[in-house]
Structure 1
Amino acid sequence: MKFNKISLVLLLASPSLFASPNLTISTSTNSRDFPLSSESPLVVPLTKASYTLKVTGIEGNCIAQTEQKVKFNQPLSLNCASMTELPIKIRFNGDYAFTFDADNKTLLIKRQPKKSTKKAFKRPLPQVQCDSYDGGEVTVHLADTYKDGTQLKDKLSGQVVTVTKQQVILTPAVNSGGLILLEPLHKPVKEAEFNWRNANIYFVMIDRFNNADTSNDNSYGRRKDGKDEIGTFHGGDLKGVIEKLDYIKSLGTNAIWLSPIVEQVQGFVGGGNAGSFPFYSYHGYWARDFTKIDNNFGNEDDLKRLVEEAHKRGIKVLLDVVINHSGYATLADLQGDDIPVVNPSSDWPAQWSDWQPSTGQSWHSFNDNIDYNNVEWSRWWGGDWVRTGLPNYPKPGTNDRTLSLAGLPDFITESSKSVTPPEWLLNNPGTRVISRDNYTVADYLIEWQTDWVRRFGIDGYRVDTVKHVSGDVWTRLKQAATTSLDDWREENGKTGQPFWMMGEVWGHSAYRSPYYDDGFDALINFDMQKKMDQGASCFSQMADTYQSYADTLKQEPDFNPVSYMSSHDTELFFGRFKSFEMQRNAASALLLSPGAIQVYYGDEVARNIGPYGDDFHQGTRSDMNWSLDANRQQLLKHWQILGQFRQEHPAIGAGEHHEIKQQKGYAFSRTLGADRVVVAFAGNVTSADNTSK
Structure 2
Amino acid sequence: MNSTLKKIAAALLAALFLTACQGGGKEEYQTPAPVFSYENATIYFAMTDRFYDGDPSKNNSYGRATVDSHGKDIGTFHGGDIPGLTKKLEEGYFEKLGVNAIWITAPYEQIHGYVGGGPEGDFAHYAFHGYYALDWTMMDRSMGTVEEFRTFVDTAHAQGIRVIMDVVMNHVGYPNLQDMLDFGYGNVTGTAEEHAVEAEETFFDYKKYVDYRDAEAFQNFYGDWVRADLPGYNPPGNTEITMALAGLPDVRTEVRDSLGLAPLLATKWAQEDQEDEPWIVPAAKKYRQELPLSPAGYISAWLSAWVEEFGIDGFRIDTAKHVEVERWKELKTLTSSALKTYREKHPESPAAKFTEDFFFMGEVWGHGILKDYYFDNGFDALINFTFQGLKKDGPAFLKKNQNSVYQKYAEVLNTDEDFNVVSYISQHDTNLYPREKLMKGGTDLLLLPGAVMVFYGDETARPMGDGGSDPTQGTRSSMNWDSIDEKVLQHFQKLGSFRNRNIAVGAGEHKMLSEEPYVFQRSYDRNGVKNTVLVYQGAPGAVTLSVEGAFAEGSFVRDAYAGSVMTVKDGKITLTVDEAGLSLLEAVEPVK
User: TM-score with structure 2 length normalisation?
Assistant: 0.80
The answer to whether the aligner puts 1:671 opposite 2:523 as a matched pair is yes
* Contact 2:446 2:495 survives alignment (8 Å): yes
Give CA-to-partner distance per residue, 1:296-342, whole Å, 9 cap, x none: 01110111000111111111111111000010011110011111433
Give CA-to-partner distance per residue, 1:34-55, whole Å, 9 cap, x none: xxxxxxxxxxxxxxxxxxxxxx
The answer to whether the aligner puts 1:206 opposite 2:48 as a matched pair is yes
Q: Using a 3 Å threshold, how does the CA distance of structure 1 residues 424 and 641 change in structure 2: closer, same or farther?
A: same
Q: Using a 3 Å threshold, how does the CA distance of structure 1 residues 541 and 364 change in structure 2: closer, same or farther?
A: farther
Match of 2:360 among 498, 501, 507: 501
Give CA-to-partner distance per residue, 1:439-480, whole Å, 9 cap, x none: 111110100111000011111111100000001100000000
Aligned to 1:608: 463
* Contact 1:535 1:589 survives alignment (8 Å): no
- Return the alpha-carbon distance in structure 2 between the equivalents of residues 251 and 360 of structure 1: 46
Aligned to 2:74: 230
SS at match of 2:392: helix
The answer to whether the aligner puts 1:641 opposite 2:494 as a matched pair is yes
Gaps of 5+ in 1: 1-154, 162-184, 345-349
Aligned to 1:513: 372
Greater Cα offset, 420-429 or 563-572: 420-429
Give the alignment of 1:185-200 within 5 angstroms: 191-200=33-42
- Return the alpha-carbon distance in structure 2 between the equivalents of residues 156 and 228 of structure 1: 48
SS at match of 2:165: strand
Aligned to 1:380: 220
Q: Using a 3 Å threshold, how does the CA distance of structure 1 residues 193 and 221 change in structure 2: closer, same or farther?
A: same
* Contact 2:18 2:31 survives alignment (8 Å): no
What amino acid maps onto 2:534 in structure 1?
V
Deviation at 1:198, TM superposition (A): 0.2
Give CA-to-partner distance per residue, 1:233-287, whole Å, 9 cap, x none: 1111000000111101210000000101110100011111111111111111001
Q: Which structure shows the higher helix fraction?
A: 2
- Return the alpha-carbon distance in structure 2 between the equivalents of residues 516 and 683 of structure 1: 42
Match of 1:586 among 435, 438, 441: 441
Matched residues, number: 500
Aligned to 2:127: 281
* Contact 1:608 1:622 survives alignment (8 Å): yes
What amino acid maps onto 2:50 in structure 1?
R
- Return the alpha-carbon distance in structure 2 between the equivalents of residues 341 and 556 of structure 1: 56
Aligned to 2:98: 252
Deviation at 1:535, TM superposition (A): 3.6
The answer to whether the aligner puts 1:595 opposite 2:450 as a matched pair is yes
Deviation at 1:208, TM superposition (A): 0.6
SS at match of 1:389: coil
Give the alignment of 1:325-474 within 5 angstroms: 325-342=171-188, 344=189, 350-352=190-192, 355-358=195-198, 360-428=200-268, 429=272, 430=276, 432=285, 434-474=288-328
Aligned to 2:558: none
* Contact 1:238 1:298 survives alignment (8 Å): yes
Deviation at 1:193, TM superposition (A): 2.2
Greater Cα offset, 602-611 or 219-228: 219-228
* Contact 1:604 1:639 survives alignment (8 Å): yes
The answer to whether the aligner puts 1:480 opposite 2:334 as a matched pair is yes
Give the alignment of 1:13-52 within 5 angstroms: none
Q: Using a 3 Å threshold, how does the CA distance of structure 1 residues 628 and 277 change in structure 2: closer, same or farther?
A: closer
SS at match of 1:242: helix
SS at match of 2:393: helix
Deviation at 1:538, TM superposition (A): 7.0
- Return the alpha-carbon distance in structure 2 between the equivalents of residues 604 and 537 of structure 1: 22
* Contact 1:512 1:556 survives alignment (8 Å): no
- Return the alpha-carbon distance in structure 2 between the equivalents of residues 158 and 625 of structure 1: 33
SS at match of 1:212: coil
What amino acid maps onto 1:201 in structure 2?
I
Deviation at 1:381, TM superposition (A): 3.7
- Return the alpha-carbon distance in structure 2 between the equivalents of residues 244 and 192 of structure 1: 21
* Contact 2:211 2:217 survives alignment (8 Å): no
Structure 1 outlier segments of 4+, above 4 Å: 155-161, 185-189, 536-539, 687-693
SS at match of 1:452: helix
Aligned to 1:12: none
Aligned to 1:546: 406
* Contact 2:115 2:204 survives alignment (8 Å): yes
Aligned to 1:64: none
- Return the alpha-carbon distance in structure 2 between the equivalents of residues 634 and 690 of structure 1: 10
SS at match of 2:333: helix
Aligned to 1:305: 151
What amino acid maps onto 1:483 in structure 2?
S
Report percent identity of matched pairs: 39
The answer to whether the aligner puts 1:533 opposite 2:533 as a matched pair is no
Give CA-to-partner distance per residue, 1:566-588, whole Å, 9 cap, x none: 111111113xxx41xx2101100
Q: Using a 3 Å threshold, how does the CA distance of structure 1 residues 421 and 583 change in structure 2: closer, same or farther?
A: same
What amino acid maps onto 2:42 in structure 1?
N
Give the alignment of 1:1-16 within 5 angstroms: none
Deviation at 1:427, TM superposition (A): 3.8
Q: Using a 3 Å threshold, how does the CA distance of structure 1 residues 235 and 194 change in structure 2: closer, same or farther?
A: same
Aligned to 1:165: none
What amino acid maps onto 2:497 in structure 1?
Q
* Contact 2:43 2:102 survives alignment (8 Å): yes
What amino acid maps onto 1:230 in structure 2?
I
Q: Using a 3 Å threshold, how does the CA distance of structure 1 residues 684 and 406 change in structure 2: closer, same or farther?
A: farther
Aligned to 1:139: none
* Contact 2:48 2:104 survives alignment (8 Å): yes
What amino acid maps onto 2:235 in structure 1?
K
SS at match of 2:316: strand
- Return the alpha-carbon distance in structure 2 between the equivalents of residues 691 and 477 of structure 1: 46
What amino acid maps onto 1:313 in structure 2?
Q
Aligned to 2:482: 627
Give CA-to-partner distance per residue, 1:572-605, whole Å, 9 cap, x none: 113xxx41xx210110000000000000110001
- Return the alpha-carbon distance in structure 1 between the equivalents of residues 126 and 582 of structure 2: 50
SS at match of 1:568: coil
Match of 2:83 among 222, 239, 248: 239
Q: Using a 3 Å threshold, how does the CA distance of structure 1 residues 495 and 427 change in structure 2: closer, same or farther?
A: farther
Greater Cα offset, 364-373 or 322-331: 364-373
Aligned to 1:69: none
SS at match of 1:567: coil
- Return the alpha-carbon distance in structure 2 between the equivalents of residues 240 and 336 of structure 1: 29
What amino acid maps onto 1:667 in structure 2?
V
- RMSD of the TM alignment (CA)? 2.6
SS at match of 2:293: coil
- Return the alpha-carbon distance in structure 2 between the equivalents of residues 186 and 688 of structure 1: 20
* Contact 2:536 2:582 survives alignment (8 Å): no
